[in-house]
Structure 1
Amino acid sequence: MIATAAPRATGSAQWADALLRSFAEAGYGLAEPGVLQPSEPFLDLSGEDIRKSLYLTTDATGEELCLRPDLTIPVAREYLASANAGKPAGYSYLGPVFRYREGRASEFLQAGIESFGRLDRPAADAEMLALALQATQAFGVSDVEIRTGDVALFTSLIDALGLYPVWRRRLIKDFNRKINLEQDIEQLTLASATPRNEYEGVLAALAGSDRKAALALVTDLMSIAGTSNVGGRTVAEIADRFLEQSTLKAGALPRDALKIIKRFLAISGEPRDAIAQLRALAKDSKLDIGAVIDALESRIGSMTGHGIDVAKVRFSTSFGRGLDYYTGFEFELHARNNGVEPLVAGGRYDGLLQRLGSTAAIPAVGFSVWVEALANIGNPAATGRPS
């Protein structure tokens, strides 16, 4: 349900309650999604690896449910079920989330903002960062390190290189999950020299195919064999594996593409300098990635308009948050010289709402605040907030 009043605050939530009021003043009303959520969206979007961190149960119908591990997906589902679906709308939230974290409490408070439907993406991105900085300041934490990146840049680069679909899919997946790309590329290149095996005919039939064609072929083959899985792997998983092996058989990642990717991933520093390096890379490599660089430049201009000193923002082309559903701008705010875990983190996820059932793509951007982490290092005297 969408509420209008903040929940009663206790302990560290007293600061968060004041934070919610400031979010409301910025136009973000309070959302209060249920604590129990269907587990499928979390497993689908984050992979089965997240299962070991979830607190799971089933209802009387057999549907698998979980205690919400974060609030982005629940708020997005509430938005899609509301009369505002497809229209510009923004929500704030504050509540407990539940996730197994070794050596730390499994229940902890999370606050944040989600903004849906805005077409002015660079301006919306900049506003999220400005509000995230406001969140840390509400807890008396002003000296933060701002780390930013943009997965859309990497996606556009890979698209412009014209690689095999399986290369594209794997490289983007690895980037999103913060896997060492250069190491992975080397391993895949070596794998292209693997000896012949009993599936040579299938691999040859898949050479140059896309994922849809591979899935159709493997589905037909397994239907003929009268089975729907092998060794616990689904048809889709088997098709992906065959497609990957087929591509590797066709040849290694082109050397010039590897060189361009490595040069791209080395770009970091002050955003304006990074933009200059990106434009130089595009020119030298004759790659059509100008539109996404222009969007980055527009975002930086909007940040300046929000009073953010962009000279203090660190941008890196290799920065990622480790979640598949991000599609563009990503950021984290860390305590200066104490920044292993972020205090605030978020970004753009334009594809998420379609994966949750929307019939059309809906722009979306937001961030989450780790309330207790901020409260632990905050200075109540700096803001007059209750201690």
Structure 2
Amino acid sequence: MQPLPGFRDFYPEDLAFREAILCRWRTMARRYGFVEYDGPVLEPLELYRKKSGAEILDQVYQFTDRGGRLVAMRPEITPTLARMVRARHRDYRKPLKWFSIPQVYRYERAQRGRLREHFQWNCDILGEESREADIEVVALLIDLLRSFGLGAEDFVVRVSDRGFWARFFERHQVREEQRYGIFQAIDKIERQPREKTEEALGPLAAPIFRLIDEGEPWEPVDRILAGLGARGLSAFAELDYRVVRGLAYYTGTVFEAFDRQGAFRAIAGGGRYDDLLERLGGEPMPAVGFGMGDVVLGELLRAKGKLQAALPRPEVFVVISEEEIRPAAVRLVHSLREEGFSVDYPLHAAKPKKQWERAEAVGARHALLADFRLMEGKVEVREMVSRRSRVVSLEAIGALLKTGARESEWGGESPPLGSPGEKGLE
């Protein structure tokens, strides 16, 4: 039996890769002064009806629970953030710099770069209306990608502004109810033939494509690009009016990150959503943020060879020479674990040769030979890479493992594993 379409199994090596990404997300967010929050996987469907737009509602996993409530599995976390902040915003000093790494769900066609579930890094600043907040979140996005070793030749953040398009709509007398559909068409420009976009835009196609192709100065975007330039990040960002973001709640700055070669979907995207809390019945509060999924980022890092995630390996493997020694060996294992070491050992009787092979297979840094000397309060410690060994007292094992021994204190190289001279193998 396979998992459902668009869902993933995470085998240990897959989980190690995923956790390396999530760990980097947390590290970079905290470096920028953000604190972590989370919310429930299930929310009232009404939360997304008020805020996310028709496209998201079409993709929501939803059901009616036993209490008759319409429930949705979260397709994103920004509405949850808005709900939480609305409820307790007076308890926190502004601005809020919050981040979260939820698993989110959307029922859409599974394809490369887009699944029906993914982990998403969301970073938001709430209660700050200055453009410096916009610059801060874009800089964080850029620095996260740079931290993986990606350069300006690998990715770019395209910056635009919904306010620019609002002025365009006023000039061309576009009604409010028509605007969301136009944004949807502009958002899909690079993903569908130009003729299809022109058909969707109708008489507005010519002026819209002229603006996109020729560009036009817009002071709010110019300030963001200048702010990034002051941080030495100008090579990573550019103006691009094709970026409008498909979600209905954006009000100002919008931006998306793409690989330079155009081989992948958007790596990340976000913008300013100053009206969202008010639309949910709260007090007005400016806000800006972005989301980045693990799927496209993971594909990009694999393609570029920028992230090698190794499985965790034990610091110590205890080899038990004889079953009569097992009770004392297990006490040693437990003692080392209490000191904070990662320790593995054979769970059933096995020949020492097989145990040494297991120690190598799991990548243990050290192996301890628990033989007759253990009853005398001593144990042989072996460095698995150098094959050097040393006999130490039980009281000295912890210090030796933490700091290592001086070169002169190690014995000579032990015989190869499985050779006749190997202790405990005869």
Question: Which TM-score applies when normalising by structure 2?
Answer: 0.59
Q: Which residue number in structure 2 is paired with residue 113 of structure 1? A: 123
The counterpart of 1:370, out of the listed 293, 312, 317, is 293
The counterpart of 1:169, out of the listed 163, 173, 176, is 176
Q: Residues 144, 386 of structure 1: CA spacing in aligned structure 2 closer, same or farther, 3 A cutoff?
A: farther
Cα distance in 1 for partners of 2:49, 2:176 equals: 19
Cα distance in 2 for partners of 1:55, 1:10 equals: 28
Q: Which residue number in structure 2 is paired with residue 298 of structure 1? A: 223
SS in 1 for 2:133: helix
- RMSD across aligned positions (CA): 2.9
Q: Residues 299, 384 of structure 1: CA spacing in aligned structure 2 closer, same or farther, 3 A cutoff?
A: same
Deviations 1:311-341 (A, max 9, x none): x533233421111111111111112224441
Cα distance in 2 for partners of 1:52, 1:324 equals: 14
Q: How many residues align?
A: 281
Q: CA deviation at 1:21?
A: 2.1
Q: Which residue number in structure 2 is paired with residue 154 of structure 1? A: 165
Q: CA deviation at 1:12?
A: 0.7
Deviations 1:38-81 (A, max 9, x none): 11122333344434422112334322111111122212222222
Q: Which residue number in structure 1 is paired with residue 332 of structure 2? A: none
For residues 313-328 of structure 1, what are the structure 2 equivalents within 5 Å? 313-328=237-252
Larger radius of gyration: 2
Q: CA deviation at 1:14?
A: 2.5
Higher helix proportion: 1
For residues 167-246 of structure 1, what are the structure 2 equivalents within 5 Å? 167-178=174-185, 183-184=199-200, 186=202
Q: Which residue number in structure 1 is paired with residue 233 of structure 2? A: 308
The answer as to whether partners of 2:159 and 2:221 remain within 8 angstroms in 1 is no
Q: CA deviation at 1:385?
A: 6.2
Q: Which residue number in structure 2 is paired with residue 133 of structure 1? A: 142
Structure 1 residue identity aligned to 2:36: L
Q: Residues 10, 354 of structure 1: CA spacing in aligned structure 2 closer, same or farther, 3 A cutoff?
A: farther
The answer for unaligned runs of 5 or more in structure 2 is 1-14, 187-195, 312-426
Q: Which residue number in structure 2 is paired with residue 211 of structure 1? A: none
Question: Which TM-score applies when normalising by structure 1?
Answer: 0.64
The answer as to whether partners of 1:90 and 1:114 remain within 8 angstroms in 2 is yes
The answer as to whether partners of 1:328 and 1:349 remain within 8 angstroms in 2 is yes
Q: Which residue number in structure 1 is paired with residue 155 of structure 2? A: 144
Deviations 1:358-377 (A, max 9, x none): 13x21111111112321233
Is the counterpart of residue 266 in structure 1 residue 246 in structure 2?
no
Q: CA deviation at 1:356?
A: 1.9
Larger RCO (alpha carbons 8 Å, 6+ apart): 1
SS in 1 for 2:110: coil
The counterpart of 1:357, out of the listed 281, 284, 291, is 281
Is the counterpart of residue 61 in structure 1 residue 67 in structure 2?
yes
Q: Which residue number in structure 1 is paired with residue 391 of structure 2? A: none
For residues 253-292 of structure 1, what are the structure 2 equivalents within 5 Å? 262-263=206-207, 265-268=209-212, 274=215, 277-278=216-217
The answer as to whether partners of 2:16 and 2:310 remain within 8 angstroms in 1 is no
SS in 2 for 1:134: helix
The counterpart of 1:99, out of the listed 94, 106, 111, is 106
SS in 1 for 2:175: helix
Cα distance in 1 for partners of 2:58, 2:172 equals: 37
Q: Residues 157, 27 of structure 1: CA spacing in aligned structure 2 closer, same or farther, 3 A cutoff?
A: same
Q: Which deviates further from its counterpart, 75-84 or 33-42?
A: 75-84
Cα distance in 2 for partners of 1:378, 1:74 equals: 29
Cα distance in 1 for partners of 2:299, 2:198 equals: 38
